[in-house]
């Protein structure tokens, strides 16, 4: 799996935890998390994500835990993370 696109999680508004770790993801398309209004945990560790676009996490108002470790995010900026107002200190990123 290389890319997740808009509509990947359509109809899953009650989903609370999403584990898409270790899937060789390179890109998360903006809007991919639309409709996941109940999500409290997102694990996207151990992929090959190289960039997080601003607004990527905007639909995730309920997320409290975000796991990013073991991705290729050498220039992780705070922009994509600013929409995660409820996130605890569970954010980790590996820099290669």
Question: With 60 as the cut, is the pLDDT of residue 91 above it?
Answer: no
Distance (Å, rounded) from C-alpha 20 to C-alpha 2?
12
Q: Which residues pair with 66 in a beta bridge?
A: 42
How far apart, in Å, do the first and last CA atoms of the chain sit? 21
Mean pLDDT across 6-20: 94
Q: What is the pTM of this model?
A: 0.86
Structure confidence at residue 96 as a pLDDT band (50, 70, 90): very low
Q: 75 or 43: which carries more pLDDT confidence?
A: 43
CATH classification of 1-96, choosing from 1.10.1760.20, 3.40.50.1580, 2.60.120.460, 3.80.10.10? 3.80.10.10
Distance (Å, rounded) from C-alpha 14 to C-alpha 44?
19
Domain edges within the chain:
1-96
Question: With 90 as the cut, is the pLDDT of residue 13 above it?
Answer: yes
Q: Which residues pair with 65 in a beta bridge?
A: 41
Mean pLDDT across 13-28: 95
pLDDT at site 18: 97
Question: With 60 as the cut, is the pLDDT of residue 93 above it?
Answer: no
């Amino acid at each position: 799996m290389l890319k997740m696109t808009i509509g990947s999680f359509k109809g899953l508004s009650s989903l609370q935890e999403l584990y898409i770790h270790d899937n060789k993801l390179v890109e998360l398309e903006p809007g991919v998390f639309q409709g996941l209004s109940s999500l409290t945990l997102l694990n996207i560790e151990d992929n090959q994500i190289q960039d997080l676009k601003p607004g990527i996490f905007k639909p995730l108002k309920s997320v409290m835990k975000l796991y990013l470790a073991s991705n290729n995010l050498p220039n992780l900026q705070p922009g994509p993370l600013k929409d995660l107002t409820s996130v605890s200190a569970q954010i980790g990123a590996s820099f290669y």
